[in-house]
Amino acid sequence: MAKPRHIMEFERPLIELERQLEELRQLDLADNVELSAEIDALAAQIEQLHHETYKHLSPWDRVQIARHPQRPKTQHYVETLFDDVVELHGDRAFGDDEAMFAGLATLDGRRVAVLGHRKGTNTKENIRRNFGSPHPEGFRKAMRVMELAEKFGLPVVSFLDTAGASPGLEDEERGQAWAIAESLAKLSGLKVPVVVVGIGEGGSGGALAIGFGDRLIMLENAYYSVISPEMCAQILYKDASQAETASSCLRMTAADLVGLGVVDEIVSEPLGGAQTAPDQVFEAVRESVNRALLELEAVDAAVLVARRYEKLRAIGEYCSLDE
Amino acid sequence: MSITDWFSARETKRYTQVADRRVAAPAGSDVPDGVWVKCDGCKRTIYEGELVENGRVCSACGHHFDLTAPQRIELLADEDSFVEFGADLAPCDPLSFVAAKPYGAQLIAATEKSGLPEAVVIGRARIAEQPIVLAVMDFRFIGASMGSVVGEKIARAFETATAERLPIVIVTASGGARMQEGMLSLMQMAKTSAAARQHADAGLVYISVLTNPTYGGVTASFAVLGDVIFAEPGAMIGFAGPKLVEQTTRQKLPKGFQTSESLLEHGMIDGIVARGELGSRIASVIGYLKPVEARAVANGGGF
């Protein structure tokens, strides 16, 4: 049996019309009643609504697309874009975190190190991978592979797709904050190019730990935020169901973040989201990453690190009381 | 992870200053109301003057009341040694964040309440006559959350210390990243960590002092990147707030969870230092961890 279609909130009016159209068609067949005019009218209405629905997505609609269960995930990018993938496991201290992918791979003939948050494609996988929320050992594995990349002069390509770092009891006891902070410090001074691709969710510190570099590319419907819209709503309105409002306040979409100077480039998605035509998205990401790597590998390591610092230094807005 | 989350936790010791705990004079006392304070630790009623004299630490039970940034600087830095810089930096409202409470109004209220333009004060100072750069966070200002200005000032503090080859001491207290500045706030975690790394790469020492409460994006960035990390007794320190951890874990949290004492036990900090000892302990560490070229000179050229 085919998987039932995952319906996002904003698609409901469209789905309802599609259901009505299907009923009309059944009626048309069964009763020999001439309904073709009605059917054509409804089909046209659906086409128009389809276009309007997906062309004017609110931040909250995009959050739902970013979380769509059929949306391509890190492992799909790794499988599709790269050849000769060698996955590397473990942090050499505590364990192997399946919520974090790390490995070596070849992208169109170029050797790179790959990092990425890894969600599952089904419940069983998701439980093993903690729904893509890394534990401290995940970030420590990522750091180990960053060091490896630096030692052997490989650029780092990092895929972001996490609701956030795991906030459990054991995560606290094993130093979740320490792991993230150390990863930030390491990434900031890494003497190889770092290209980041936001493919889905970009949740807070858990995303940032592998989520900044020399080029930050984001898919059109991906988000990147300081806090989840639900938690923001909980704080602002004591009501997580106000997440839709919070998602607009937070300015977390790719387009918003280009405006704030955080994101460098947006990769557009097919109408309705990456899950409707994944191959098209893989190709667009391949092209963007390749272009970034080609530019960055020509830059001297010291200049690269200095520019990365300057780029970070420039993010933020404030005023001076002296002026 | 967030201030509210932190505040709503039932079992958590709340952020309280001496001024928040003023009570009526004990029966039969000649000293009037308004100068008596009830201790959060032992519940005794203490004369405020005595408490202030003792660094706002209860002399009966050792409970450390929380400090404002000016109070901390006065206690920690050598007398009249602190010279502030970056004092002109003030927050704006880059996202025009209007929710239940507009951010702009919150900023005005925070400034009025604290008398500070933002949640961190930075400057040059001396501790036991040794020159340092000192940064102190002030929880009264929107929970000392880190937005653009806090990130910028912490980065400038590191950069000044790097340029002048000085040790840096940062006293933290924070609810985490400031959500009202969205991704600009999150990126301050990367900015401050990068600045800390440059200071470290220059061979200079960074001493971090974690105080009650330090959470979220501040813990998960510059706060824990110190060469040496101290914490005050009984401080609450963590990544996610206890309520969120409890929800995630679906079990009751162990007693003392996320306290300095528990962090020490789990190997996350170098030591717990009582307020009265903090200055001399910092001075000792700075004395040991001199940059290599300075050490060669101090030891008469040899090691």
Do B182 and A250 lie within an 8 Å CB cutoff? yes
Pair B275, B64: CB distance under 8 Å: yes
pLDDT score of A24: 85
pLDDT score of A59: 96
Chain A residues closer than 8 Å to B198 by CB: 189, 309
Do B268 and A178 lie within an 8 Å CB cutoff? yes
Chain A residues closer than 8 Å to B148 by CB: 316-318
Does position A55 have pLDDT exceeding 60, yes or no? yes
Can you tell me the distance from the alpha carbon of B205 to that of B299, in angstroms, rounded to the nearest whole number? 18
pLDDT score of B296: 60
Digitized pLDDT (tens) for each residue of chain B, 303 residues in all:
444 444 444 334 568 888 888 888 887 777 777 789 999 899 999 999 999 999 999 999 999 999 999 999 999 999 999 999 999 999 999 999 987 789 999 999 999 999 999 999 999 999 999 999 999 999 999 999 999 999 999 999 999 999 999 999 999 999 999 999 999 999 999 999 999 999 999 999 999 999 999 999 999 999 999 999 999 999 999 999 998 899 888 888 999 999 999 999 999 999 999 999 999 999 999 999 999 876 566 665 544
Chain B residues closer than 8 Å to A321 by CB: 87-90, 117
Interface check for A204 against chain B (CB to CB < 8 A): the answer is yes
- What is the residue-wise DSSP string for B202-263? TT--EEEEEEEEE-HHHHTTGGG--SEEEE-TT-BB-SS-HHHHHHHHTSPPPTTTTBHHHH
Can you tell me the distance from the alpha carbon of B174 to that of B190, in angstroms, rounded to the nearest whole number? 16
Do B194 and A189 lie within an 8 Å CB cutoff? yes
Interface check for B102 against chain A (CB to CB < 8 A): the answer is no
Looking at chain B from residue 131 to 190, which residues have their Cβ under 8 Å from any Cβ of chain A?
A: 147-149, 151-152, 155, 177-179, 181-190
pLDDT digit string, tens, across residues A132-172: 999 999 999 999 999 999 999 999 999 999 999 999 999 99
Q: Determine how many CB atoms are found less than 10 A away from the CB of residue A13.
A: 12
Do A172 and B149 lie within an 8 Å CB cutoff? no
pLDDT score of B294: 65
Chain A residues closer than 8 Å to B94 by CB: 260, 317
- Complex confidence, ipTM: 0.94
Residue A113 pairs with which residues in a beta bridge?
A: A104, A156
pLDDT score of B194: 98
Higher pLDDT, B100 or A86: A86
Looking at chain B from residue 114 to 133, which residues have their Cβ under 8 Å from any Cβ of chain A?
A: 117
pLDDT band at A239 (very low <50, low <70, confident <90, very high): confident
Report the gap between the CA of B300 and the closest CA in chain A (Å).
Answer: 34
Report the gap between the CA of A38 and the closest CA in chain B (Å).
Answer: 45
Interface check for A312 against chain B (CB to CB < 8 A): the answer is yes
pLDDT digit string, tens, across residues A270-308: 998 999 999 999 999 999 999 999 999 999 999 999 999
Q: Which residue on chain B is closest to A259 by alpha carbon? A: B95
Looking at chain B from residue 182 to 241, which residues have their Cβ under 8 Å from any Cβ of chain A?
A: 182-191, 193-194, 196-198, 200-201, 216-217, 219-225, 238-240
Q: Determine how many CB atoms are found less than 10 A away from the CB of residue B140.
A: 18
pLDDT score of B25: 82
Do A315 and B184 lie within an 8 Å CB cutoff? yes
Higher pLDDT, A56 or A286: A286
Buried b (16+ CB within 10 A) or exposed e, A79-112: eebbeeeeeeeebeeebebbbbbbbbbebeebeb
Interface A–B counts its CB contacts (< 8 A) at 204
Chain A residues closer than 8 Å to B146 by CB: none
pLDDT digit string, tens, across residues A68-84: 999 999 999 999 999 99
Q: Which residue on chain A is closest to B262 by alpha carbon? A: A173
Torsions phi, psi for A104 (to 5 deg): -115, 145
Of A225, A236, A316, the CB nearest to B148: A316
Comparing C-alpha atoms, which of B291, B274, B255, B267 is closest to residue B211?
A: B274
